[in-house]
A and B are shown apart, each in its own frame.
Chain A
Amino acid sequence: MKVPVTLDVNGVAYPLELEPATTLLYAVREGVGLTGAKEGCDDSECGACMMLLDGQPVNSCSYLAVQADGREVTTVEGLADGDELSPLQRAFLEHGGVQCGFCTPGMLVSATALLAAEPRPTEDEVRIALSGNLCRCTGYDGIVNAVLEVSGTS
């Protein structure tokens, strides 16, 4: 059984026909064609698949795409304004918050959600907010410093 679903991803409506068990991550990567969000662990542990759903963070590997019908989905591709990187993206580059890059889309989306909810987080709040996102390269300091710089608390 396929279900008609319209995914509103980064402000663009994509009509899709999906099996009910299709995850939001799979629908966005394979159906929409936006491959910024990554499949890491595929069970909500690593955060590489993080998206925003109606502005709230969601592990898209573990959310049914049919439940996102008609709702607002934001992926890492939606953070930049055209070719202009968001301040957070620029700060990640400046602080060495990116090495292999696999975790970066999820980190950026989680950090975006944090700053929307708490514009001036403490370092501890940043570390807690990002501890659902695993990075095996950077040691996290560059990432945390990038978020703190954008929040103006570094």
Chain B
Amino acid sequence: MTSSFVSATGVDEALSALAGGARPVAGGTDLVVGARQGKTPLPESLVAIHGLDELRGASASDRSLRLGALVTHAEIAAHPVVCERLTALADASSIVGSHATRAQGTLGGNLMNASPAMEVGGPLIVFGADVTLRSGAGERQVAVADLATGPGTTVAEPAELLTEVEIPLPPEGTGSAYVRLEYRRQMEIAVVGATAAVTIAGGRVAWAGVAITALAPTIKLVPDAEEALIGSDGGAAAVGEAARATAAAAEPISDVRASADYRRAMAEVVARRVVSAAVARARGETVAVPASSTLFAGGAS
């Protein structure tokens, strides 16, 4: 039971509270739900950070997009740079939880909850995003790819607060997508998910990034799938090879939502669709956001 609560009015106050053993709460969409479900009791000491306006901003430059830790999924999904240059992140942010989850849930909280099934992790890893972890002693940058160490665990120290995410913008000619297998259209999390990004130059794939979600203890890149795409024309043969490589990299578990065998079988299907969508977008074709709804609504092979 929580016996201590403070609502921080500045980042320094929040960092002091963390150093004193408090745990942060922003939108509460994981922390409070986890406590209501009986999974994890609320921390003994809480510091609310929802009022810290300095963690709320979004700013774009020619090279990157910086998002404060308190930017919500709804704000990410609506950001014009995300929609135009980081489309996989738009796909992912626009299907997190429900309208309520996206209105309250924050990027920082989502990343630090470290679920291997979180929607935004794959796109951030594929785009090479970093997070800033700040404590009273200073700050450091950590790649999103290196942040989670397993389900629910990260490299962050208890006194560190995730304050910002910086996402490099991919070059012109890049298309990207995130797709998940879902049973319900809201209050869902990936049963199986995959992210793909490809840069096409002169009709050839010059760069590719592929990551899998809910298929391993952490979201991870699939180098074999990337190699299958690079240098190819992005056609069906290369897409099929990348999809098979993606399924081969999966280490799924069986749980209440799906068996490991089903997840492995669906990994190839989801990968084929997501790579195809990324290639199509790179070629300037329209695949509506969120790609999951577009590609699973019926008829997609």
Q: Chain A: residues with CB nearer than 8 A to chain B?
A: 1, 3, 19-21, 23, 42-45, 47, 50, 53, 56-59, 61-64, 66-67, 69, 110, 113-114, 127-129, 131-132
Contacts and interface: CB of A to CB of B under 8 A. Distances in A.
A1 B4 contact: yes
Contacts of B257: none
B-side binding surface: helix, strand, loop or mixed?
A: mixed
A132 to B, nearest CB: 3
Contact of B48 (A1, A21, A64): A64
Interface in B9-43: 25, 28-29, 32-33, 35-37, 42
Nearest to A56: B103
A1 B5 contact: yes
A50 B100 contact: yes
Nearest to A45: B187
B5 A114 contact: no
Contacts of A62: 28-29, 32-33, 36
A113 B99 contact: yes
A44 B34 CA distance: 10
B29 to A, nearest CB: 7
13 contacts: A1-B3, A19-B1, A20-B42, A43-B37, A45-B187, A57-B99, A57-B103, A61-B36, A64-B28, A66-B5, A110-B99, A113-B99, A131-B98
B35 A21 contact: yes
Interface of B: 1-5, 7, 25, 28-29, 32-33, 35-37, 42, 46, 48, 50, 74, 97-101, 103-104, 184-187, 293
B32 A64 contact: yes
Shortest 3 CB-CB contacts between residues of A and residues of B = A132-B98, A20-B5, A56-B103
Given A1-B5, A64-B32, 5 more contacts: A19-B2, A62-B32, A64-B48, A113-B103, A131-B98
A61 B32 CA distance: 9
B33 A44 contact: yes
B3 A63 contact: no
A43 B186 contact: no
Interface-centre pick from B25, B33, B187 (highest chain A CB count, 10 A): B187
B99 A114 contact: yes
